[in-house]
Amino acid sequence: MKLLKKVIAAALVAGIAGQALAADLKLGYLVKQPEEPWFQTEWAFAEKTGKELGFEVIKIATPDGEKTLAAIDSLAANGAKGFVICTPDPKLGPAIMAKAKSLGLKVVAVDDQFVNAKSAPMTEVPLVMMAASKVGERQGKELWTEMKRRGWKLEETGVMAITANELDTARRRTDGSMSALKAAGFPAKQIFTVPTKSNDIPGALDAGNSLLVQHPNVKNWLVIGMNDNTVLGGVRATEGNGFKPEKVIGIGINGVDAVTELSKSKATGFYGSLLPSPDVHGRTSITMLYDWVAKGKEPVKFVEVTDAVLITRDNFKAELKKKGLGG
């Protein structure tokens, strides 16, 4: 009995200490597109990490530059000691760093790398990101494999590549995808690119529509884009232009953003998605920041998260579950 009391007392003290620490240390997590499950997953795993290590995560949506700078001010006013950020625009890098510095906040970038006034990557800012070229190459290879499985004739097939080249990670993914297709034997002259105005379904849909009208003779389409929403927009464009699902193969990137589409009762042209590790991005970036702020441990400047699994209608539930991402 005495022992039990002691255990309970110790647990209470630990609990109170944990709460005190959680109340003390606050870290921000700012994301450009909170509507994407990708970023919701990063947030969820950052918060989980905060609960385990004893700090509070302040989540803020920062879709533009003004909101980003205001968010940094509000973090400082709330006593936060630093933040992780996926910036809405890489060119904001210098402004974000100047403001953070003036307020004494530490910064870890996630997913999208900052660029300086000369458009060069700001390699001095710690960064956690996916292996963009590799995941892009994988997209190209998987598209080729599925095209072969369907027995499509090369001469009747076109590639719709929806690009966002001003974002380095996006450019590397779509370039990787197109290179892999060419390396496999896909004719370069049948690969068509079109830039999207915004990184969401409506933007990609517009881009896809403008590309389709220029190539009326193509019978089958492979759809490339830097993430699920871009590819979904492209696939929606093929549907609007009368292409049946079996004439279209779209493979996205992010995986978690494809769950609604893959859950549809009937197959669409969106064949599948490459699921990297948003959980690892969220956990790693916030842990690097925590170690820096709480323990004075300087983070490494670059962490590349590799490996992605292809999820399709057949396996997405099991694969998401394996990663602890529900589904």
Q: Closest separation between CB of residue 227 and ligand FCA, Å? A: 4
CB of 8 to ligand FCA, least distance (A): 45
Residue numbers of the site for ligand FCA (CB under 6 A)?
36, 38, 86, 111-112, 130, 169, 199, 227, 253-254
* Per-position b or e across 91-126, b if 16+ CB within 10 A of its CB: ebbebbbebbeeeebbbbbbbbbbbeeeeeebeebb
Nearer to ligand FCA, 25 or 280 (CB): 280
**What are the beta bridge partners of residue 159?**
191, 222
**Closest distance of CB 159 from ligand FCA, Å:** 20
Contact predicate 65/95, CB 8 Å? yes
DSSP state of 189: G
Using the minimum distance from each CB to ligand FCA, give the nearer residue, 76 or 115.
115
Q: How many residues does the chain have?
A: 327
> Based on CB atoms, which residue is closest to ligand FCA, 220 or 227?
227
H helices present in the chain, as ranges:
2-24, 37-53, 65-77, 93-102, 132-150, 168-184, 201-214, 228-240, 259-262, 278-295, 316-322
CB of 280 to ligand FCA, least distance (A): 11
**Cα distance between residue 159 and residue 193, in whole Å:** 8
Find the shortest distance in angstroms from Cβ 276 to ligand FCA. 7
Tokens representing 53 are: 């290590």
Of the pair 25, 224, the CB lying nearest ligand FCA is at: 224
33/238 with CB nearer ligand FCA: 33
- In the complex with ligand FCA, the residue whose CB is nearer, 88 or 158, is 88
Q: What minimum distance in Å lies between the beta carbon of 248 and ligand FCA?
A: 21
